[in-house]
């Protein structure tokens, strides 16, 4: 078991090293479906399940290259639509992060007007790419009780999902998960870091229809 973990860890390290030297579309070719699932599971089981979901959905090869091209375009459009969000192209997908402070008041799951406007802009882009699935995750810092943080992260993830559904993003495309304080991106050792850990994260990746189109060379670029 230790040997298997070491293999996955080395594979993940090599993958990310390659990604740093590759352009965005090349990132979609460097890993096959089996490797993507294995490395995605490894990463997802640690500190970033959204990133793990993106990598776990990879199929690699020429089809992965085509998906990567499409994701490049979608990522640019998302960044233009929501400029204050963190939008990162990873493998064959997109990892997007909203600072929860930009969406909610402290200890609240009610979206402010500015947040609804941001999610409305995001929805317009998502509807132009119907062959992608979206994982929405809620996260908190370690302030307060575990049970409260878990519940708050659930409510916040659902608040974002509800707006997307009300804006005609198909519910079948959406997955909703919440982790409370269990997946910090940064050590909870300062208010600046805690602010970054209070977040709603999205993973955007190809669904089965998009993968099939890419395999058949029918994916529009």
pLDDT digits (tens, 9 = 90+) for 138-174: 999 999 999 999 999 999 999 999 999 999 999 999 9
Residues of the chain whose pLDDT is less than 50? 1-23, 25-46
Dump strand ranges (E) for the chain: 86-90, 93-99, 132-139, 174-178, 199-206
Over residues 11-36, the pLDDT tens digits come to 444 344 444 434 454 444 444 444 44
How far, in Å, CA of 109 to CA of 198, rounded? Answer: 12
Q: Which of these, 96, 91, 82, lies nearest to 24 by C-alpha position?
A: 91
Q: Which CATH number is 2-215's, of 3.90.930.12, 3.40.30.10, 3.30.420.10, 3.30.1330.60? A: 3.30.1330.60
- Where do the domains of the chain lie? 2-215
With H, G, I as helix, E, B as strand and everything else as coil, classify residue 1: coil
Q: Which pLDDT does position 108 carry in this prediction? A: 94
Q: Which pLDDT does position 221 carry in this prediction? A: 62
HEC per residue, 97-149 = EEEHHHCECCCCCCECHHHHHHHHHHHHHHHCCCCEEEEEEEECCCCCCHHHH
Other C-beta atoms within 10 Å of 195: how many? 14
Q: Which pLDDT does position 101 carry in this prediction? A: 86
Q: Which pLDDT does position 56 carry in this prediction? A: 87
Answer whether 136's CB lies under 8 Å from 155's CB: no
């Amino acid at each position: 078991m230790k040997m298997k973990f070491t293999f996955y860890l080395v594979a993940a390290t090599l993958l990310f090293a390659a990604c740093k030297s590759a352009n965005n579309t090349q990132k979609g070719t460097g890993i096959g479906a089996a490797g993507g699932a294995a490395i995605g599971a490894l990463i997802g089981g640690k500190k970033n399940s959204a990133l793990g979901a993106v990598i776990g959905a990879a199929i690699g090869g020429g089809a992965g290259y085509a998906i990567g091209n499409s994701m490049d375009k979608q990522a640019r459009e998302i960044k233009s639509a929501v400029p204050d969000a963190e939008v990162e192209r990873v493998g064959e997908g997109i990892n997007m992060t909203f600072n929860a402070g930009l969406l909610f008041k402290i200890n609240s799951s009610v979206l402010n007007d500015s947040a609804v406007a941001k999610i409305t802009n995001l929805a317009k882009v998502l509807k132009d790419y119907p062959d992608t699935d979206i994982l929405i995750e809620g996260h908190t810092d370690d302030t307060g009780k575990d049970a409260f943080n878990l519940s708050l992260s659930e409510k916040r993830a659902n608040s974002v999902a509800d707006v997307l559904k009300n804006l005609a993003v198909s519910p079948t495309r959406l997955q909703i998960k919440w982790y409370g304080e269990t997946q910090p991106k940064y050590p909870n050792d300062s208010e600046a870091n805690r602010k970054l850990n209070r977040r709603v994260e999205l993973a955007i990746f190809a669904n089965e229809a998009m993968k099939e189109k890419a395999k058949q060379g029918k994916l529009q670029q």
